[in-house]
């Protein structure tokens, strides 16, 4: 089969990762066991995830004119990701401060940096080039680490160059109904599902993911997916289904699990897999990712996922 083409409009960051025995409590100082600086950002990670599974991936975004930006661009070129529409700005590259403990739990703080400079006009330039050259993308993939107005604008215009618009609404933020209606695949975790749906989250309140995913399905143009970490997840499209995490998985770092899942899910869908099968395969990709340290460095390749 011809390699599918994917456009990712998304973020870049330099992940500053530290490992600690436990995540510090309020007022507590913890000593880091290790420190590493690695390429990251949800857009970047998902682009690499799909490239490693065989897709031809192009990115729209921005990095700073600094060592971090040069590191990220070099890593993308090694992964054969097209970076012609990635702008280099005078400011700093986005930064993510990632802390991971011995239980594989993490906390992440992001600073947008150059990501905050991505504009609707920059997206329009990339889409105009696709139209002018007759390029039709098998999928356009977005997240919430860019300005949300840019995300909404991209979704409204990307229908001109693709029949599959994928939104990973992370970090959590409300999404206008007119935008959701254009989304073909919405991927969220439990917290993000509540925010997108506009639901309150009082402590101890009962929450049924099957009911929640069905409600989201009524608002999106196609498939709604809720990931539930080690509990698997649920999806609703033409039919509702669930998936589980492969047995025997011992997580050491969950940082890139969501991006591995999204990348593999999109890859499976554009290759014609049924939604439930694509989600189960995506769960396997996430399970592989959590068994290695780092986000992007842990993303699996096709030979490991489909062996």
Q: Is the pLDDT of residue 285 over 80?
A: yes
Whether residue 267 has pLDDT greater than 90: yes
Residue 306 within any structural domain of the chain: no
Maximum pairwise Cα distance, the chain: 57
* Catalytic positions: 259
Q: Which two tokens stand for residue 220?
A: 């999106």
CB 81 within 8 A of CB 295: no
What lies within 8 Å, CB to CB, of 300 at 6+ separation is 52, 260, 264, 285, 288, 289
Residue 233 resides in a domain: yes
Lowest-pLDDT choice from 55-69, 134-148, 208-222: 208-222
- DSSP class per residue in 14-56: EEEEEE-SSPPPTT-----SEEEEEEE-HHHHHHHHHHHTT-E
pLDDT of 246 above 90:
no
- Listing DSSP states for 255-303 in one string gives TTHHHHHHHHHHHHHHTT--HHHHHHHHHHHHHHHTTSSSSGGGPPPHH
CA 150-73-165 angle, 5° bins: 35
**How many angstroms separate the CA atoms of 193 and 209, rounded?**
9
Task: Give the mean pLDDT of 102-114.
Answer: 88
Query: Which of the four pLDDT bands, split at 50, 70 and 90, describes residue 233?
Result: very high
Q: Residue 240's domain spans which residues?
A: 5-24+34-298
Residue 304 domain-assigned (yes or no) = no
60-100 pLDDT, tens digit each: 999 999 999 999 999 999 999 999 999 999 999 999 898 88
CATH of the domain at 191: 3.40.1190.20
Residue 25 has pLDDT above 70, yes or no: yes
How many structural domains comprise the chain?
A: 1
Beta-carbon neighbour count of residue 131 at 10 Å?
Answer: 11
What pLDDT is stored for residue 200 in this prediction? 61
305 assigned to some structural domain: no
Q: Is residue 160 part of a domain?
A: yes
For helices 190-197 and 209-217, the axis angle rounded to 10 degrees is: 50
Asked, for residue 291, whether it belongs to a domain, the answer is: yes
Between CA 140 and CA 164 the distance in angstroms is 6
Q: What is the model's pLDDT at position 255?
A: 76
204: confidence class by pLDDT, cuts 50, 70, 90? low
Q: Is residue 191 part of a domain?
A: yes
Structure confidence at residue 143 (pLDDT): 98
Q: Is position 201 within any domain?
A: yes
User: For residue 282, what pLDDT is reported?
Assistant: 95
Residue 179: enclosing H or E segment and its boundaries? helix 177-180
Angle, alpha carbons 36-40-44 (nearest 5°):
160
Instruction: Please check whether residue 6 is in contact with residue 266, taking contact to mean a CB–CB distance below 8 angstroms.
Output: yes
Pick the closest to residue 16 from 79, 104, 107 (CA basis). 107
| 112, pLDDT greater than 70 | yes
Q: What is the pTM of this model?
A: 0.93
């Amino acid at each position: 089969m011809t390699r599918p083409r994917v456009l990712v409009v998304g973020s870049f960051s330099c992940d500053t990762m530290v490992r600690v025995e436990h995540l510090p409590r309020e007022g507590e100082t913890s000593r880091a066991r290790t420190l590493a600086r690695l390429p990251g950002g949800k857009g970047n990670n998902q682009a690499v995830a799909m490239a490693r599974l065989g897709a031809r991936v192009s990115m729209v975004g921005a990095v700073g004119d600094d060592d971090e930006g040069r590191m990220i661009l070099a890593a993308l070129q090694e992964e054969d990701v097209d970076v012609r529409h990635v702008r280099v700005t005078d400011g700093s590259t986005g930064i993510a401060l990632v802390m991971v403990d011995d239980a594989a739990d993490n906390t992440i703080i992001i600073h947008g940096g150059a990501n905050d400079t991505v504009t609707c006009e920059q997206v329009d330039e990339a889409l105009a080039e696709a139209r002018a050259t007759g390029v039709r993308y098998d999928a356009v993939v977005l997240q919430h680490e860019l300005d949300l107005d840019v995300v909404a604008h991209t979704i409204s215009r990307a229908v001109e160059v693709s029949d599959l618009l994928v939104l990973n609404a992370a970090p959590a933020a409300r999404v206008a109904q007119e935008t959701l209606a254009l989304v073909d695949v919405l991927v969220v975790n439990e917290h993000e599902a509540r925010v997108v749906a506009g639901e309150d989250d009082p402590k101890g309140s009962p929450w049924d993911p099957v009911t929640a995913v069905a409600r989201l399905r009524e608002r999106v143009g196609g498939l709604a997916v809720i990931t539930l970490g080690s509990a698997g997840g649920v999806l609703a499209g033409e039919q509702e289904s669930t998936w589980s995490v492969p047995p025997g998985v011992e997580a050491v770092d969950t940082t890139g699990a969501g991006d591995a899942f999204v990348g593999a899910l999109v890859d499976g869908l554009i290759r014609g897999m049924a939604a439930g099968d694509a989600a189960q395969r995506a769960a396997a990709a996430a399970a592989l990712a959590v068994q290695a340290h780092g986000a992007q460095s842990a993303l699996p390749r096709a030979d490991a996922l489909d062996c």
